[in-house]
Amino acid sequence: MKTIKLTNTLQSISEAVERVDEQLRAYKVKQEDRLRSTLTLEETLVKIADSMAETEVPIFIGIRRTIHRVQLRVTVAGPEINFATDTLLSDSETLLEEYGPETENLIRDLILRTNSERIRTRYAKGVNRVDILVSQNEKAMLYETTAALVLGVSAGLIARLLCSPSVAAGLNEYLFSPLYSLFLTAIAMIMVPMVFFSLVTSISGFGDLSALGRTGGKVFCMYLITTLIGILVAIATNALLMPGRPGMMTLPESVAGGESSMHLSLMDKLLAIVPDNFVGAFAGADMIQVMFLAVLIGVACTQIGQFSLPLKTAFESLSALFTHATSLISKFLPYAIFGAMAQMTLTMDVNGIGALASWMGVSLLCIVLQFLVYVLLLMFVGRLRPMPFIRKFVPAPLTAFFTSSSSATMPTTMACLEKMGVSRKVYSFSVPLGANINMDGTSLFFMVTTLFMAGLYGISVDVSTMLELIMSVMLISVALPGVPGAGTAALLMLFAIVGVPAEAFGIVIGLIPLIELFETALNVTGDGVVSAIVAKSEGEMDLEAYYK
Amino acid sequence: MIEIKDNEAWITLSGRLDTATAPKVEETLRAALVEAPAVRRIVIDATNLSYISSSGLRVILGLRKLCATTEMHHVQKDVRAVLDLTGIGKLLVIS
């Protein structure tokens, strides 16, 4: 960590900010992140200086770079400083018009407020501490999970080849297995409220589809259609190839005993969607019933007049709370991967390795097939030659692959669409919406993994269960928050619908981060294809630019 | 850095307009503009302005208070981002 010492004088603040800026340039921090953080730092330092009665008070700025993030930490001893900002963003324009002695403070408050997500303040033992997040390494999780995978396999191999059977069994029972089962239990605990509140928030947000307008409505419907196609591709591939010999894995007794419930008639299943007890659906973690309630509450939330807004805000807050809790749990994902991979290497036979390889193969094949579907959609629905699209759009899926984030890829996606002549009117709406709700790759992966696991455990999926799965994956793809761990929770939920035990997750957990790279690339490609097709159909595309 | 001709003030800003430099810049500009009450348009050339903070923005808003037609030309990406972030970009004519 590098530390810069300054005092509460304006000259000293200015020099310190410049030095921080130089250091952030040396760390190759993105221009936007560098600007936002140095600006936030300067305003924070001025706020500190203004609140100090004495001059020449020492202030320290630490610049810390870890695998996860670059962060600034400002520390200053003395009485507690109030960093709260009172200005409402909605009032800012009016207040700025009324130029006066408080204008600078107002602008400072605006800057600090718009960057509030990057700032954490704390006062303890007579020291004020302000942490300013400069940038986050989006690939940190991938590096960690890859390292955990390699270490887990190595630990499993060492235990298998070098330790006596009793020591190996002890390691498995007291180290590898608890690491991974604890993580799964935590995710299973959080998945019901996380999915419920995310879904209520999404449904209530889209309550009035007519507000999207004709183009928006088309984009929304096309996103749902491409997601459904992705799911059907996964089902067809799984049905044709039947990867993983049935019954390769055996069901635990507790699950096998309850298997008969999986073979209810279609009518029974439809009737069971509606819970007879609101709380019971949550207590029993019946995901289909929970999703039904979420849709019901989400729609109702848009239709209760003056009460809608406060309720929507409350649901959004709860959704943010449980999403954040999920991302906190997911910080332990590398440990779970380590435990699962070590256990798998220690106990797996040739059948298990074959199963893992065929799951990877089928997942990647489905991704390629979905890409071909996009080409066909461009040709026959969009009436566009696909090659210009591929040529101009390639940077977007590549960026998505390397960042593993649809949101982080948005600027690249928009730039590619602009280059191919899609009007701003279309892509400025379709790309952010797609980053949130269009998860073709994710849906396809959920479906293929769930069906693959069902096959592996010898569970036959009848028509009614398949319909439940399709509906659940569609709903999840709309509502799933883009945080680490959310996908794990959703997949566990789908496993529960089919009757696959949660322990099956251990087979694939180590390779999910790798598959997610391809998934994200596919999600982004889906956004691009839909944007191009809708733009063409609405006369919002410059065809000369497209074919240039 | 400030030139007044034909009821127009042409101002050139460069480097960092921050908490240390803004008070001096403000003093200079105000002194010049007070002596030229007939100014009806202020044009700021921001080609070489690399950074602006709340203190600098206050200077710009102060100029706008003196003359409603205040324009900023050749605004760099970083400065533009701060103007947009605070909403001050909407109050000025920017190119």
Residue among B21, B85, B87 minimizing CB distance to A93: B87
In angstroms and rounded to an integer, the radius of gyration of the C-alpha atoms of chain B is 12
Alpha carbon dihedral A113, A118, A122, A126, in 10-degree steps, equals -90
Give every CB contact of residue A336 below 8 A, 6+ residues apart in sequence: A179, A180, A182, A183, A184, A509
Greater model confidence, A141 or B30: B30
Distance (Å, whole) CA A398 – CA B59? 44
Q: Which helix (H) or strand (E) holds B13?
A: strand B8-17
Per-residue confidence band for B39, with pLDDT thresholds at 50, 70 and 90: confident
Distance (Å, whole) CA A25 – CA A2? 14
Cβ distance of A32 and B81 shorter than 8 Å: yes
Complex ipTM value: 0.88
Distance (Å, whole) CA A528 – CA A386? 12
pLDDT of residue A24: 93
Distance (Å, whole) CA A287 – CA A298? 16
Cβ distance of A15 and B20 shorter than 8 Å: yes
Chain B residues at the A interface, defined by Cβ less than 8 Å, are 16, 18-21, 23, 51, 53-55, 57-58, 61-62, 64-65, 77-78, 81-82, 85-88, 90-91
- Other beta carbons within 10 angstroms of residue A479's beta carbon come to 28
Structure tokens at A383: 């009436």
User: Which residue, A337, A332, A338, is CA-closest to A484?
Assistant: A332
Q: Vertex A285, ends A282 and A288: CA angle to 5°?
A: 95
* Closest alpha carbon within chain B to A115: B85
- Other beta carbons within 10 angstroms of residue A249's beta carbon come to 21
- Other beta carbons within 10 angstroms of residue B27's beta carbon come to 11
**Strand A58-65 with B2-5, pairing:** unpaired
Cβ distance of A38 and B19 shorter than 8 Å: no
SS3 content of chain A, % helix, strand, coil (to 5): 75, 5, 20
SS3 of A62-118: the string is: EEEECCCEEEEEEEEECCCCCCCCCCCHHHHHHHHHCCCCCHHHHHHHHHHHHCHHH
- Other beta carbons within 10 angstroms of residue A538's beta carbon come to 15
**Measuring CA to CA, how many Å separate A394 from each of A206, A367, A412, A415, A417?**
31, 16, 10, 11, 11
In angstroms, how far is the first alpha carbon of chain B from the final one?
19
Structure tokens at A365: 């094949």
Q: Which residues of A14-35 are buried (b: 16+ CB within 10 A; e: fewer)?
A: bebbbebbebbeeeebeeebbb
Cβ distance of B55 and A97 shorter than 8 Å: no
Residue among A45, A99, A110 minimizing CB distance to B86: A110
In angstroms, how far is the first alpha carbon of chain A from the final one?
50
Q: Which residues of A134-156 are buried (b: 16+ CB within 10 A; e: fewer)?
A: bbeeeeebbebbbebbeebbebb
Burial of A120 (0-12, 13-18, 19+ CB in 10 A): middle
Residue among B53, B61, B77 minimizing CB distance to A99: B61
Give every CB contact of residue A360 below 8 A, 6+ residues apart in sequence: A511, A515
Cβ distance of A99 and B64 shorter than 8 Å: yes
Strand order across the B93-94 sheet: B2-5, B8-17, B41-52, B70-73, B93-94
| 10-residue stretch averages of pLDDT, chain A, 548 residues long | 80 91 91 90 91 83 88 92 68 66 83 85 92 83 83 92 90 89 85 85 70 78 93 92 65 50 61 84 82 88 87 89 85 87 82 80 92 95 94 89 76 88 86 84 92 87 88 84 73 88 81 83 94 93 90
Chain A residues at the B interface, defined by Cβ less than 8 Å, are 10-11, 13-15, 17-18, 31-32, 35-36, 38-39, 42-43, 45-46, 92-93, 96-97, 99, 103-104, 107-108, 110-111, 114
* Closest alpha carbon within chain A to B53: A39
**Strand A127-136 with A69-77, pairing:** antiparallel
Q: Is A156 left (phi over 0), alpha (psi -120 to 50) or beta?
A: alpha
User: Which residue, A487, A257, A541, is CA-closest to A378?
Assistant: A541
Which residues does chain B have within 8 Å of residue A98's beta carbon, measured at their own beta carbons?
none
A186 contacts A332 by C-beta, under 8 angstroms: yes
pLDDT of residue A212: 61
Q: pTM for this one?
A: 0.66
Render pLDDT for A331-362 as a digit per residue (tens, 0 to 9): 888 898 899 889 888 887 777 777 788 888 99
Task: Read off the DSSP letter of residue A56.
Answer: S
Q: Which residues of A408-447 are buried (b: 16+ CB within 10 A; e: fewer)?
A: bbbebbbebbbebbbbeebbebbbbbbbbbbbbbbbbbbb
pLDDT of residue A96: 66
Render pLDDT for B41-79 as a digit per residue (tens, 0 to 9): 999 999 999 999 999 999 998 888 888 888 999 999 889
pLDDT of residue A260: 43
**Measuring CA to CA, how many Å separate A193 from each of A108, A132, A291, A489?**
38, 30, 10, 11
Give every CB contact of residue A370 below 8 A, 6+ residues apart in sequence: A229, A230, A233, A440, A441, A444, A522, A526
Backbone angles phi, psi at B36, to 5 degrees: -130, 70
**Measuring CA to CA, how many Å separate A368 from each of A10, A392, A518, A522?**
58, 19, 10, 9
Most A CBs within 10 Å, among B27, B49, B54, to test the A interface = B54
pLDDT of residue A232: 95
Q: Which residues of A328-365 are buried (b: 16+ CB within 10 A; e: fewer)?
A: ebbebbbbbbbbbbbbbbbbbeeebeebbebbeebbeb
Structure tokens at A42: 């300067």
